[in-house]
Structure 1
């Protein structure tokens, strides 16, 4: 395991007293992050849940915002743009966009775990325009074309 990457973290006034994002187990890839507000999301509704945190992610990294599997399985609560991306140059408040795919309204209390944060390296791409692409076994087969 490599050394942890330092990330500057600023606690906003409405984040005072809340637990900072943390890994629940030694083998966890994601850090649980908690809500800084009380909110109820109706069935089919979406809400950007405040965390009371802003951060300075080092250049060359991103933080991916991912759903918590228990919330998704038990209540239909997920991150609609999963994984959400927090870029290294963003300095605003981290908000977790949640959607309720469940049949009932879902209440979130301040301090509830709402998502996971995964630090990931970013590789920048450079487009190289070519006249032809190399052939592959799959070729131009689209959705559902593999394994048939």
Structure 2
């Protein structure tokens, strides 16, 4: 079943393409930087910046847009989405922006039209929180970070 994603191009992105799936099996659509042509954004090592996409979206109720890193930018340059995955709620109507961080050793330049992140549309499950006196126990119980070890079971 295909769902519609209503997208409004803002004035500063009028000449940029809409997000699209780059391959038939892609889960995410690429988001493109809509910073001014004459104002490339230079991210020094460990710097972060909010990069405009020039898009506002209207999601169907019960869905969210997840903004995720592009693996190639992360691998080759150390550039990733800081709050990954960033969430765009179904009732948000402002510009979708991407919070990039440069974890690499060299400065990275974000130019207009650069594919900076990917957007995955996903269903949202809502729950009703209920206070209880106890919750079911499990073999893991309260074991926190790292409590299941690094190796597969049985090793």
Same fold (TM over 0.5): yes
C-alpha distance in structure 1 between counterparts of 2:130 and 2:54, whole Å? 42
Does 2:36 align with 1:59? no
Q: CA deviation at 1:7?
A: 1.4
User: 1:94 & 1:15 partners in 2: Cα distance?
Assistant: 12
Task: Answer with 79-88 or 125-134: which moved more.
Answer: 125-134
Q: Are 2:129 and 1:116 equivalent residues in the alignment?
A: no
Secondary structure in 1 aligned to 2:75? helix
Q: CA deviation at 1:118?
A: 0.1
> Structure 2 residue aligned with 1:31, among 12, 29, 32?
29
Unpaired stretches in structure 1, ≥5 consecutive residues: none
Q: How far apart are the structure 2 equivalents of 1:108 and 1:135?
A: 49
Matched, 1:86 2:88: yes
What CA distance in whole angstroms lies between the structure 2 residues aligned with 1:145 and 1:44?
30
Give the unaligned 5+ runs of structure 2: none
TM-score by length of 2: 0.91
Number of paired residues?
Answer: 146
SS at match of 1:74: helix
Q: CA RMSD in A?
A: 1.1
Question: Deviation of residue 129 (structure 1)?
Answer: 1.4
